[in-house]
Amino acid sequence: MYQILKKRRLSENVVLMEIDAPYVAKKAEPGQFIILRVDEEGERIPLTIAEYDREKGSITIIFQEIGATTMQLGLLEEGDCLHDFVGPLGRASELEGLKHVAVVGGGLGCAIAYPQAKKLHEMGAEVDLIAGFRTKDIIILEDEMRAASTNLYICTDDGSNGNKALVTDILKQQIESGKKYDAVIAIGPMIMMKFVCLTTKPYDIKTIVSMNSIMVDGTGMCGGCRLTVGGETKFACVDGPDFDGHLVDFDEAMRRSRIYKPQEQAAIEAHKAHCNLLKMEVK
Amino acid sequence: MPNMSPVKNPIPEQDPNVRNKNFLEVSLGYDEATAVDEAQRCLNCKHRPCVSGCPVNVQIPEFISLIAQGKFLEANAKIKETSSLPAVCGRVCPQESQCESKCVRGIKGEPVAIGRLERFAADYAMAHPTDETVEVPTPNGHKVAVVGAGPAGLTCAGDLVAKGYDVTVFEVLHTAGGVLMYGIPEFRLPKAIVQKEIDTLKAKGVKFVLNFVVGRTETIDDLFADGYEAIFVGSGAGLPNFMDVPGEGFNGVYSANEYLTRVNLMKAYQEDSPTPIYHAKRVAVFGGGNVAMDAARCAKRMGAEDVYIVYRRSEAELPARAEEVHHAKEEGIIFKLLAAPLEVLGDDDFHVKGVRCQNMELGEPDASGRRRPVPIEGSEFVLDVDAVIVAIGTSPNPLIRTTTPGLDTNRKGCIIADEVGATSKEGVFAGGDTVTGAATVILAMGAGKKAAAAMDEYIQNKNK
C-alpha cells in the first residue's frame, strides 16, 4: 500500500499529493509517469510525476478532479493509502546539453512542466518558463516555478492576473525579440501543444511535447495510447511520453482522447450521486 | 477390464445461446461417475506415449489410474508432482496436439480425455480442501528472482521454491497471473482458479512484488546488486502488433490486448466497473488464433449483435484450437474466411463505421509451409461494423531488452536462450513467449520448468 504523506489543494479542483513510494522515487526522472489505482476495484490512471524525493522515498503527483477516479482520489486525506502505484513509466525527458530553453506549460500541464524547468535550471540552463492559465484563481505553483526559472511569464486567457495573453503570444514575442532557444518544451492541453508547435515551426526550433494519452497498463501492452508520429505508429507509454512535436499528428491524438467522453460523464454523475447519498446518510 | 467406448465422455456445457450472454464458464466439467468412467478408457500403456507429449511431463497414466480407483485427491497430488497449475492446464492446454495426440486409444476412435480428467482432479481437490498444511520446503539460503508472474514465471517459481530457494516474483501489473488473468477470459478460465494456484505458491513461500517494472523500477543488474543469484525472465510477448492499414487510429479500433485487458483484468464486463469500454453493436476481429476467438466471444458477451472473424486464409489454416473455433461458431460468431482487411473506415466523428475487405484465394505454400493468400481482383466488400479488434499477434516488450547490457536478442526482439533457458548473460535465464514469441501457456510452463532446473544447477555449481 502506498500512503499519502502530504495533501495540498492548489486551487479549487487541483490537488497535490506526496505519496510514499520508495521504489518509484529511486529511479524517477522528469518526464516519466506513474499509474495508480485508488482501491481494489479501481481503474488504472496515468499521472505524470511532478516531483520526486529520493531520500524520503516519495513521489509528488498533481491532478485535477475532472473524472470519477480523480474525484475519488481527491477525497482521500493524508494517512490514507492508495491500492496500487507503479512506476516510473515511460522514458525520461532528454534534457542533457540544452542551454537555452523555453518551457511552456498550460494549466495543469504546469505541474509537469515545472519539474522539467527545475531540472534544466539545476543543470545550469537558462530557462524561460511561460505558464498559461484560464484565470487568476487557478494559477498553481507560482513560487515553485519562479524558483525553477530564469524568467517566469504567467498569462491568463481572461487577463485577470493583469497579463491577458496566450502562451503562444509570449513565446512568439520572446523569439521575435531575439531569444535563441535550443529547444521549446511544451506541456499542457493537446490544443495548446499543437499551437506551440505551429508557432515554433517557422523558426525551426526543436519542440518537445508530452503526450498523456489514454492507456491501461502503461508498459506497452494495450496499445491504447498509440499515436502517429512522423507517419509511424508509436506508443506514448514506452516510446514516449515525449515526442518531437513537429511530427505528432495532434488532430488524431485529440480525437482519440475523446473516445470515453460519454462513459466518463456517466461515471462522474454516478460518483456525485454516490457522494450525495453519503452526505444524506451522515445527516 | 477397460471401458472400450470409442468416444470420449462428452463434457457438459452451458447452452450456446445462454452462455453467449454471460461470462460464466462454458464447460461445466465431469462429475465423479463420468470421470471414473472416462478414466477407465485408459489402457495404462507400458510405454506411456502420452507423457512424452506433455511439456511438463505430467504422470498421465498414473493420475488417470488413481481417478479410476476413485482416489481423486491422490490423482491431483500426482499431477502436482510435475505441474504447478493443473486446474489451468486442464482448461487451456491444446491437448489434441500434445498428450492426447499420442494416446493409443486415438488410433481407432477418440483418445482418452486427458485434459478433462486433469481438470476434474484439480477442481475436485479445490472443492475438497484437506486439513494438511502446505509443506514449506527447508530454505537452502539462496535468493532468486523471477520477472513476470505469468505461466512461465509461476512454474519456475513453484519449482524453485520446492527446492528451498528464496523466490521473489516481480510483476508489473497489480495482479499476478499474466495472460491467465488479463488475457484468457473468465468464461474459459475463471480467475478464482488462477488466484487459488497463486495463493498455493504464496503459501509455499514464494514472494510476489506487484507494481514493479523490471527495466524501469529496477534493472536486471540492480536485481543482481540486491543479492539475487540467478534471475528468470518470463516477461511474455506483450506488445500488440497492428495491421498498418489506413484507419487504425479511428476510435473503436482496439488491440486484442487492450480489449481483453479492459474486459478481463479490469472487469469491464461488470456493470459497476470504473474502467470504460466501448459497447459495440457490430464488431470485426482481425486474426484467426485463440486470442481472436477470445476477443470475438467477449465482444458477443458484451452485447454485440454481429461479431465477425476476418481471416485471410481458410478454415483449415486457422491457428486457433478446433474446440475454440467450434465454441465460437456455436455462439454465433460469423467467420469471414479468405478475407483480408484493407482499410478501416471512419465516420465524421472519426469513429469506426466499417471495414473495407478483399476476398482471397490460396496460392502456393509460403515460408511457413501454409498456402499463401492471394487477393482476388475486384472482390472488395465493406463490413458494416462500429468496432474493430486487431488480434494478429504480439511482440516481446522492449523494456528488459533495452535496459540489460549483455543480453542478446534476435531480430524480432525475442531473448535468445538455449534449450534450458540460459541466455548470453551469466545468471540470467529466460523462457516462454519472451523467447519464442507468442505461443501457448503450456509451452511457457515447460520453459519455466526447464529453466528452474538449470538455475538450480547453475547456483549449486557456482557455490561448490
DSSP structure string for B60-109 = HHHHHHHHHTT-HHHHHHHHHTT-S-HHHHHHHS-GGGTGGGG-GGGTTS
- B71 has a pLDDT exceeding 90: yes
pLDDT above 70: residue A75: yes
Look at residue A273 in the predicted model and tell me its pLDDT: 80
Whole-angstrom Cα distance, residue B352 to residue B383?
11
Q: How confident is the model at residue B199 (pLDDT cuts 50, 70, 90)?
A: very high
Q: What is the residue whose three cell numbers read 470519477?
A: A68
Residue with grid cell 519562479, as numbered in its chain: A146
Quick one: which of A61, A65, A66, A29 has its CA closest to A48? A61
> Which residues in chain A have their CB less than 8 angstroms from residue B251's CB?
255-256, 258-259
Alpha-carbon distance B216 to nearest alpha carbon in chain A (angstroms):
6
CB-count exposure of residue B348 (10 Å: 0-12, 13-18, 19+): exposed
pTM: 0.92
Compare CB distances from A89 to B213, B239, B249 and report the shortest one's residue.
Answer: B213
Which of B115, B117, B86, B81 is CA-nearest to residue B194?
B86
> B274 pLDDT band (50/70/90 cuts)?
confident
Q: How far apart are CA A12 and CA A171, in angstroms?
A: 28
What is the pLDDT, as a whole number, of residue A212? 84
Per-residue model confidence (pLDDT) at position B237: 87
- Smallest Cα distance from B237 to chain A, Å: 9
Is the per-residue pLDDT at B379 higher than 60?
yes
CB A85 to CB B211 under 8 A?
Answer: yes
**Residue B12 CB coordination number (10 Å):** 11
pLDDT at B431 over 90: yes
Q: Which residues contact B362 (CB under 8 A, 6 or more apart)?
A: B313, B314, B338, B371, B372, B373, B374
* Sequential DSSP letters for B142-181: -EEEEE--SHHHHHHHHHHHHTT-EEEEE-SSSSS-THHH
The answer to whether residue B2 scores a pLDDT higher than 90 is no
Model ipTM over 0.85: yes
- C-alpha B50/C-alpha B106 separation (Å) is 11
Percent of chain B surpassing pLDDT 90: 82
Distance CA A35, CA A37 (A): 7
Taking only the tens place, the pLDDT of each residue in A119-172 is: 999 999 999 999 999 999 999 999 999 999 999 999 999 999 999 989 999 999
What is the phi/psi pair of residue B340, to 5°? -125, 135
Partner residue opposite B249 with nearest CB, options A26, A44, A256 = A256
Confidence of residue B54 (pLDDT cuts 50, 70, 90): very high
Count of CB atoms situated within 10 Å of the CB of B102: 20
pLDDT at B132: 67
- What is the DSSP secondary structure assignment for residue A108, as one 8-state letter? G
A283 has pLDDT over 60? no
d(CA B381, CA B308): 14
Q: Which of A87, A216, A260 sits opposite B258 (nearest CB)?
A: A216
CB B76 within 8 A of CB B121: yes
Average pLDDT for residues B190-198, to the nearest whole number? 93
- A277 touching B, CB under 8 A? no
Nearest C-alpha neighbor of B173 from the set A168, A220, A48: A220
What number is the average pLDDT over the span B204-217? Answer: 95
For cell 520508495, the residue is A22
pLDDT digits 0-9 by tens, A189-227: 999 999 999 999 999 999 999 998 888 888 888 999 999
Q: Yes or no: say if B234 and B146 are a contact pair by the CB < 8 Å rule.
A: yes
User: Do B249 and A226 count as a contact with CB atoms less than 8 A apart?
Assistant: yes
Whether residue B100 contacts residue B50, with contact meaning beta carbons closer than 8 Å, is answered with yes
| CA–CA dist B236, B183 (Å, integer) | 12
* CB-based contact, A29 to chain B, within 8 Å: no
Cell of A52: 520526486
CB-based contact B27:B321 (threshold 8 Å): no
Residue B133: its pLDDT value, please?
Answer: 64
Closest to A247 measured CA to CA, from A228, A225, A229, A227? A229
Contacts of B24 (CB under 8 A, 6+ apart): B14, B186, B187
Instruction: Confirm if B395 and B415 have CB atoms less than 8 A apart.
Output: no
Residue type, A141: L
pLDDT level of residue A281 (50, 70, 90 thresholds): low
Mean confidence (pLDDT) of chain B: 93
Q: Nearest C-alpha of chain A: how many angstroms from B142?
A: 23
What is the per-residue pLDDT for A278?
65
C-alpha dihedral sign at B379, B380, B385, B388? positive
Cis peptide before B246 (omega within 30 of 0): no
Percent pLDDT > 70 in chain B is 99
Pairing of strands A14-20, A58-64: antiparallel
Report the C-alpha gap between B30 and B36 in whole angstroms.
9
What string of DSSP letters covers B25-40? Answer: -SB----HHHHHHHHT
pLDDT of residue A228: 94
Spatial contact of B360 and B330, defined as CB atoms under 8 Å apart: no
Ordered DSSP codes for B266-306:
S-TTSTT-SS-----SEEEEE--SHHHHHHHHHHHHTT-SE
Confidence of residue B369 (pLDDT cuts 50, 70, 90): confident
Which residues in chain B are closer than 8 Å to A255, comparing Cβ atoms?
A: 249, 251, 349-350
Looking at residue B20, its pLDDT comes to: 94
Rounded distance between C-alpha atoms, residue B286 and residue B335, angstroms: 11
Task: State the smallest CA–CA distance between residue A160 and chain B in angstroms.
Answer: 35
Residues with Cβ < 8 Å from B196, sequence gap 6 or more? B87, B126
Angstrom distance (rounded) from CA B389 to CA B262: 13
C-alpha cell, A197:
508547435
Using the Cβ of A68 and the Cβ atoms of chain B, whether some distance falls under 8 Å is answered with yes
Residue A22 contacts B where some CB pair is shorter than 8 Å: no
End-to-end CA distance of chain A: give it in Å, rounded.
32
Q: How far apart are CA B176 and CA B187, in angstroms?
A: 19
> Residue A264: what pLDDT?
81
Contact B358, B373 (CB under 8 A): no
Q: What chain A residue is nearest to B172 in terms of C-alpha separation?
A: A86
Using an 8 Å Cβ cutoff, are B315 and B202 in contact?
Answer: no
Task: Give mean pLDDT, residues B392-417.
Answer: 92
pLDDT, tens digit (0-9, with 9 covering 90-100), for A18-59: 999 999 999 999 999 999 999 998 999 999 999 999 999 999
Indicate the DSSP class of residue A212: -
Q: What is the pLDDT of residue A279?
A: 67
CA dihedral over B222, B223, B229, B232, signed as positive or negative: negative
Residue range B75-90: mean pLDDT, rounded: 91
B264 contacts B182 by C-beta, under 8 angstroms? yes
Residue pair B238/A220 in contact (Cβ under 8 Å)? The answer is yes
The pLDDT assigned to B366 comes to 83
Which residues partner with B144 through β-bridges? B167, B230
* CA–CA dist B216, A171 (Å, integer): 34
Query: For B144-152, what is the mean pLDDT?
Result: 97
Q: Which residue has the cell 538455475?
A: B455
When the pLDDT of each residue in chain A is averaged and rounded to a whole number, the result is 92
DSSP string for B217-254:
TB-HHHHHHTT-SEEEE-----EE-----TTTTSBTEE
Q: Residue B437, SS3?
A: coil
Quote the minimal CA–CA distance from A282 to chain B in Å.
24
Q: How many CA atoms lie within 13 A of B291 on its CB side?
A: 28
Chain B positions touching chain A (beta carbons under 8 Å): 172-174, 182, 210-213, 216-218, 238-240, 242, 244, 248-249, 251-252, 254-255, 257-258, 261-262, 266-267, 272-278, 349-350, 397-399
Q: How many CB pairs under 8 A join A and B?
A: 118
Query: Given the C-alpha cell 485434459, which residue does it identify?
Result: B115
C-alpha cell at A207: 519542440
Q: How far is A156 from chain B (nearest CA, A)?
A: 31
Q: What CA–CA distance (Å, rounded) separates A14 from B214?
A: 32
Q: Which residues of B touch A216 (CB under 8 A)?
A: 258, 261-262, 266, 275
Does A23 contact B at CB distance below 8 Å? yes
